[in-house]
Amino acid sequence: MAKKLPAKDAVIVGLGWTGSILAHELCDAGLSVSAIERGPWRDPTAEFTPPVAQDELRFRIRHDLFLRPSQTSLTFRNNRDETALPVRTWGAFMLGNGVGGGGLHWNAETWRFLPSDFVLRSHLTQRYGAKFLPEDMTIQDWGITYDDLEPHYDRFEYLCGTSGTAGNVKGQIHDGGNPFEGPRSRPYPTPAQKQPFSHTLFANAARELGYKPFPQPSGNLSQAYTNPLGVKLGPCTYCGFCEWFACANYSKASPQTTILPVLVRKPNFEARTDCEVIRINLDNLGKRATGVTFVDTSGEEWEQPADLVLLCAFQLFNVQLLLLSGIGQPYEPRTGRGQIGRNFTHQTVSSAIGFFDKAKYNFNPFISSGSIGMCIDEFNGDNFDHGPLGFVGGGYLGQVQTNGRPMETTPVPPGTPAWGSEWKRAVRDNYLSTVYSGAGVHASWYAYRNNYLDLDPTYKDRFRRPLMRMTMDFHENELKMNAYLTDRYAEILEHMGAKQVVKQPRKGPYDITSYQTSHLCGGAIMGTTPGNSALNVYLQSWDVPNLFVQGASAFPQNAGYNPTGTVAALAYWSAAAIRSQYLKNPGPLVHA
Amino acid sequence: MHSSRVIIASALIGVATLLPARAIDIQDFDLIQHGKYLADIGDCGACHTLLGSGAMLAGGRPIETPFGTLLGPNITPDPQTGIGAWTDNEFINSLTKGTGRNGTHLYPAMPYTYMTKITREDALAIRAYLNTIPAVHNPVQPNQLAFPFDVRAGLVAWDELNFRPGEFKPVAGKSPVWNRGAYVVEGLAHCGLCHTPKNAAGGDETSQRLKGYALQGWFAPDITNNKRRGIGSWSVDDIVTYLKTGHNRFSAASGPMAEAIMDSTSKFTDDDLKAIATYLKDQPVENAADEVGDLEASAMKSGSAIYADQCSACHAADGSGVDGLFPMLKGSPLVQSVDPASVLHVLLRGARSAATDPAPTAPAMPSFGRMLNDDEVAAVATYVRNAWGNRAPPVDAAAVGKTRHALEQRND
């Protein structure tokens, strides 16, 4: 029997980016807020200091910041004919854990999606005709437009102090920025980061090939910045320990460096860490959430009643909690019916490695940051004519080499033995003179009928709850698109002067053990009707109106960008709707 | 111009001019609020509230003195264990003369040597406020000292040497702002309790007023207008910003000063902060020579290398830091204090800076105690004290070892 805590106005499940944003917005509106976080409190100022933070073995290899698979995991299979098996060590994506969530260990690549990404199905259908899309592709429009989200993108970028060069301010195209981006209301809050040598050469080569390279928008700051909440960030030192790590210099935007210092001072905010929410509680009719039940480290069950429930966990766990709590209809791939688990997507990432003459090139790859890079957007979204190509989708290409860490970033030419003195010699010969961008091609993944999430029939977690089961594979459209983009990317490396270019296009089947990105999307998507979505456009559950589900689980499909900017913009968009509409008149914000 | 000055002067001199010349109404809202403000200036909670107890001003907080530990008494209105049954005169005598109820003599850890400067009206305002806070029944035995210091009789002689009773008298020829600053600094805010060197008896070395003193494992730096070791290079606005937010373009408060800022100075009015700054900027400077003796070239060299590896990522290669985030070491009074206690404390133990509403970030300095041995700490301390135009005596490994040991004994 759970012990009951005093009721709160709002309870938040998960204290990462969206949990922190929502908690701040709701506290600011005067609500009492309790945030319940599965992992530990994480205080970078005490735990991740220089030079402790730059421990590649501890954080990169041994996954110190991440969820322990023994605490909870998921099962995986490529298709419905297979039996899914549990994941025992993370591979294709990393699951953050603790306060800050993914916002603590991200690379801080802070993109906006293209205006056409939000109206994807209508746009592609209009340009190429409905028949151009694969029959089982289930992409759809988001129900909102880029213009709806623009003020909220802006808010997040100014919260973070994002460093970049604007390409489009109020419709005016600016040299040096991304000419394809949607119009932004004002320039980035801080100038772009400085670019290392290889990134600069990449941009020169791209320019010579007729492209318009621009610096990747970065949450690792080019200069000190004080955000609108009064929180200060420092300038990045280009140490190259960003992704998988917490920043030791207050220079990577994270909940800890932008919101939490203000949030923890608010008397109407509390956080409970090392407490795992096991279900969202509903009233007898199943139409209203009454709060959540969580378990502490002693195994004690607690009930936190609340008028408003904000599901702010990682994509997978948002979907799992909906399924376990009996909210919405589980997706059924045979019929296409049901919304929870549908349109599950990831990212289609690939690269090419450029080996250069070491006598002529010294790239010093250790001078880097997680979101450094010179990119081109000519092959993203529908910025290029897909008609003759026979596929849809795309991504940005870039020299976005984020690090020169000694365990991870030791590229050697094909044919080199995997160990021994020859391998060592090859590492020595190539370390300084290789262009090696883990995600040089960062491309979209569109939704398909048979990529989905549901509850595993066999494997259970420590609370005897079924694990999430992911059924996922690449489709021909994505592989074709990726091969095309990888070729374009390799051309740029060749033009840079590489003596050898090794292409590494993404190949099927989807491999759960090889890292791509941690950008899992969908499963509880937003849309215009209960027939096409789990959530309305304000991220409010169609089934339980006092439940809002934040995060990339709401993306109908994934675009060719890193998702955090859009995740955060949606959180501010949803928070604005809660503050301006829902609190005045609690109930469905969109009538089905 | 003339008339506006008169208005400022009357507003600054204190409550006397604000209140009508009739019997004080202790239930008066303005009086109570004024008393609350004065209690914040006096930072009563620093000694009278046990951290984490949630019992405001109910006593029990250990107060370190060179002679042993005292416990801050309960000053809530509880009639048995607090001061609820005291008369106003008993309260005022205790606050301003160190004479406790029933004639016992208070230890000068209670800064009556400073509080003696405050006006009777201000003292009564504080009383009016203390009457309104929740009464907490909490018996506290303040005297935890060992013989012979537990015998209070000696305190009469102590007073003879160290105590100059009497209300603050404005200094002619100084501005009302300066005089208000003097009233606050030398009285209620009792800045010198930490910042003024002490004689063998623990009394203020009055000739050395505000020139810095080591206590609680820290060195409270010189806060006179000394350009190198004091706040001579800070403007009035820099001082105001520091006291209001805990941070300014040079520095970040940590240790006991962070607490003083969060609990006390961040609540001062801007006028009072300006007055304090004006007064401090006018404090006489010790014109000691900058001669610090020979620096070992090898220590400076290894200190420089350690600094580049461990420190420069935040404090920058040229010691310039980051405004409001990482303190500027170049030109820092704390870094160049003759006594290196604070530098060593921060290096060995780390420190968290003050969090305030205008500056909520509260960046922290990591502890390097586990990573650097005594020689290395000495080298990097010597380096930062003498790089970029800084000048301060070198630190040797033996001193680091002693400080390390002393810090390990501390339970804070």
The complex's ipTM? 0.88
Strands A434-436 and A395-399: unpaired
Do A230 and B352 count as a contact with CB atoms less than 8 A apart?
no
pLDDT number for residue A51: 74
pLDDT number for residue A1: 79
End-to-end CA distance of chain A: 37
The residue ranges of every structural domain in chain A are 3-582
β pairing state of A33-36 and A8-13: parallel
List Cβ neighbours of A406 (8 Å cut-off, separation of 6 or more): A56
A530: exposed, middle or buried (C-beta count within 10 Å: 0-12, 13-18, 19+)? middle
What is the mean pLDDT of the segment spanning B192-205?
A: 92
pLDDT at residue B13, rounded to an integer: 41
Tokens in use for A584? 């005045």
**Local confidence band at B21 (pLDDT 50, 70, 90 cut-offs):** very low
* Residue B20: pLDDT over 50: no
- Residue A306: its H or E element: strand A301-311
Number of A to B CB contacts under 8 A, please give it: 62
Partner-chain residue, chosen from B323, B350, B363, that has the shortest CB–CB distance to A250: B363
- CB contact B366 to A (< 8 Å): yes
Q: Shortest CA distance to A557 belongs to which of A487, A479, A478?
A: A478
For chain A, give the mean pLDDT: 97
pLDDT at B294: 74
More confident: A34 or B286: A34
Percent of chain B exceeding pLDDT 70 equals 93
Any idea which residue has 């699951």 for tokens? A95
**Residues in chain A with pLDDT values less than 50:** none
- C-alpha to C-alpha distance for B367 and A254, rounded to whole angstroms: 23
Q: For residues A293-328, b (16+ Cβ closer than 10 Å) or e, as one string? A: bbbeeeeeebbbbbbbbbbbbbbbbbbbbbbbbebb
Q: In the numeric block, which tokens belong to residue B105? A: 């003599």
Per-domain boundaries in chain B:
22-162, 176-232+239-244+256-281, 297-409
d(CA A219, CA A162): 5
Q: Which residues of B touch A235 (CB under 8 A)?
A: 322
In chain A, which among 204-243 make CB contacts under 8 A with chain B? 224, 226, 229-235, 237, 239
The whole model's pTM is what? 0.92
Q: Do B357 and A45 touch (CB under 8 A)?
A: no
Mean pLDDT of B197-213: 92
Where does the pLDDT of residue B201 fall: very low under 50, low under 70, confident under 90, or very high at 90 and above? confident
CA-based nearest residue to A250, from A265, A268, A237, A266: A237
Round to whole Å and give the CA distance between A311 and A554: 11
The pLDDT value given to residue B15? 41
Closest CA to B180 of B306, B9, B25, B335: B9
User: Please, what CATH class does the domain formed by B22-162 belong to?
Assistant: mainly alpha
pLDDT of residue B24: 72
- Taking the C-alpha atoms of residue A552 and residue A345, their distance in angstroms, rounded to an integer, is 10
Contact A212, A378 (CB under 8 A): yes
Give the residue from chain B lying closest to A48, CA to CA: B366
CB contact under 8 A, A232 and B324: yes
Find chain B residues with C-beta within 8 A of A239's C-beta: 313
- Mean residue pLDDT across chain B: 90
A50:B355 CB<8 A = no
| Average pLDDT rounded to a whole number, residues B404-411 | 93
Can you say whether residue B172 is alpha, beta or left, with left for phi > 0 and alpha for psi between -120 and 50 degrees? beta
Residue B288: CB atoms within 10 A of its CB come to 11
Whole-angstrom CA distances from A19 to A23, A38, A49, A153, A548 are: 6, 12, 24, 17, 11
What pLDDT, on the 0 to 100 scale, is given for residue B12?
41
| Spatial CB neighbours of A362, under 8 Å, sequence gap ≥ 6 | A197, A432, A433
Parallel/antiparallel/unpaired status of strands A33-36 and A269-272: parallel
pLDDT tens, position by position, A195-213:
999 999 999 999 999 999 9
Contacts of B360 in chain A (CB under 8 A): 229-231, 261-262, 265
| Range A44-79 burial, b when 16+ CB lie within 10 A, else e | bbebbbbeebbebeebbeebbbbbeeeebbbbbbbe
Contact A226 B364 (CB under 8 A): no
pLDDT attached to residue B151: 81
Q: Is A152 a catalytic residue?
A: no
The neighbour count for residue A344, using CB atoms within 10 Å, is 29
CATH number for B176-232+239-244+256-281: choose from 1.20.1270, 1.10.260, 1.10.760, 1.10.3470. Answer: 1.10.760
Q: Do A265 and B357 touch (CB under 8 A)?
A: yes
Q: Does the beta-carbon distance from B326 to A234 stay under 8 Å?
A: yes
Closest among A42, A32, A30 to A67, alpha carbons compared: A42
Give kind and range of the element (H or E) at residue A457.
strand A452-460
Fold type of domain A3-582:
FAD/NAD(P)-binding domain (3.50.50)
| Structure token digits, residue B115 | 């509080």
Chain B 152-191, CB below 8 Å of chain A: which residues? none
Question: Is B318 within 8 Å of chain A by CB?
Answer: no
Local confidence band at B145 (pLDDT 50, 70, 90 cut-offs): confident
Q: Which residue of B has its CA nearest to A251?
A: B314
Q: What is the pLDDT of residue A45?
A: 77
Please tell me the distance from the alpha carbon of residue B26 to that of residue B129, in angstroms, as a whole number: 8
- Cβ atoms of A271 and A40 closer than 8 Å: no
Task: Answer yes or no: do B313 and A237 touch at CB < 8 A.
Answer: yes
**Which fold, B297-409?**
Cytochrome Bc1 Complex; Chain D, domain 2 (1.10.760)
A400 closest CA partner among A26, A186, A107, A169 = A107
Q: Note whether B383 and B303 are within 8 A (CB).
A: yes
The beta-carbon neighbor of A224 closest among B313, B325, B371 is B325
Cα A78 to Cα A270: distance, rounded to the nearest angstrom: 41
Per CB-CB distance under 8 Å, the chain B contacts of A229 are: 360
- Contact at CB, B323 and A224, closer than 8 angstroms: yes
pLDDT exceeds cutoff 90 at B412: no
B324-370 tens-digit pLDDT: 899 999 999 999 999 999 999 999 999 999 999 999 999 999 999 99
Q: Measured between beta carbons, which residues in chain B are less than 8 angstroms from residue A228?
A: none
Q: Strand A289-295 relative to strand A301-311: parallel, antiparallel, unpaired? A: antiparallel
Which pLDDT value is given to residue B296?
Answer: 79
CB-CB: which of B322, B325, B360 is closest to A230?
B360
